[in-house]
């Protein structure tokens, strides 16, 4: 049986399998069709219906279940919903267990949440360092380009204020007002 306990392991293995069998297009379709439109349809419907309060309900519940040690922080106002991951439960599982079958596991988050939030009328600012730390800001589409300064939304909980957060942007995957997992900033 495929279980839930080591889900992140076989989920990551699956990305690599799809990539080998059908290339990058099949991986993208998997994230959008199977995860966004099927598995996470409850999140999709909630966020399309309620916007930022729906994001709070969805991620507040899901992250607490996946990360009871609270390796994350949620901040929200009327205009922005932000998550800082200081210890991503999913990436952490892979790192602790030495699992790697796909070149960038972290891309899957933008792979399904990007299209989901786009369909709800939101865009995403995001950076991840591939080591279990990342941040996300979701705002209404049409918001001007660019990232908010570190600390301006989440205060001291902003992951970019960590001493180990890379100073070199080349060590990060970065997105601004994006919905497409391939829309990484150069």
Binding site for other proteins (CB under 8 A): 1-7, 9-11, 13-14, 17, 21-22, 26, 29-30, 33-35, 38-40, 42, 62, 65-66, 68-69, 89, 92-93, 96-97, 99, 101
- Nearest distance, CB of residue 151 and other proteins, angstroms: 28
User: Between residues 58 and 80, which has the closer beta carbon with respect to other proteins?
Assistant: 58
26 close to 116: Cβ distance less than 8 angstroms: no
Distance between alpha carbon 135 and the CA centroid of its chain, in Å?
8
- Nearest distance, CB of residue 123 and other proteins, angstroms: 25
- Nearest distance, CB of residue 75 and other proteins, angstroms: 23
User: Between residues 85 and 93, which has the closer beta carbon with respect to other proteins?
Assistant: 93
Instruction: Kindly report each contact of residues 140-143 with a partner whose C-beta sits within 8 Å and lies 24 or more positions away, as own/partner.
Output: 140/79, 141/177, 143/177
Q: How far apart are CA 47 and CA 127, in angstroms?
A: 22
- Nearest distance, CB of residue 150 and other proteins, angstroms: 28
38 close to 30: Cβ distance less than 8 angstroms: no
Return the biggest CA–CA distance within the chain.
47
Of 179, 164, 170, the closest CA to residue 47 belongs to 179
User: Between residues 69 and 164, which has the closer beta carbon with respect to other proteins?
Assistant: 69
Phi, psi (5° rounding) for residue 21? -80, -40
The Cβ of residue 22 has, within 10 Å, a number of other Cβ atoms equal to: 13
- Nearest distance, CB of residue 14 and other proteins, angstroms: 6
User: Between residues 91 and 139, which has the closer beta carbon with respect to other proteins?
Assistant: 91
User: Between residues 25 and 185, which has the closer beta carbon with respect to other proteins?
Assistant: 25
């Amino acid at each position: 049986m495929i279980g839930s306990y080591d889900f992140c392991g076989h989920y990551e293995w699956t990305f690599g399998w799809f990539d080998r069998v059908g290339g990058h297009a099949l991986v993208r379709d998997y994230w959008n069709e199977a995860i966004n439109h099927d598995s996470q349809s409850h999140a999709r419907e909630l966020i399309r219906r309620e916007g930022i309060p729906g994001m709070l309900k969805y991620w507040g519940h899901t992250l607490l279940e996946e990360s009871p040690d609270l390796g994350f922080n949620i901040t929200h106002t009327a205009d922005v919903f932000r998550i800082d991951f200081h210890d991503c439960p999913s990436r952490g599982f892979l790192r602790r267990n030495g699992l790697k079958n796909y070149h960038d596991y972290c891309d899957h988050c933008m792979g399904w949440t990007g299209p989901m939030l786009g369909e709800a009328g939101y865009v995403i600012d995001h950076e991840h360092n591939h080591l279990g730390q990342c941040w996300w800001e979701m705002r209404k589409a049409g918001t001007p380009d660019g990232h908010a300064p570190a600390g301006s939304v989440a205060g001291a909980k902003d992951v970019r204020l960590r001493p180990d957060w890379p100073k070199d942007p080349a060590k990060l995957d970065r997105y601004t007002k994006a919905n497409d997992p391939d829309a990484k900033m150069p």
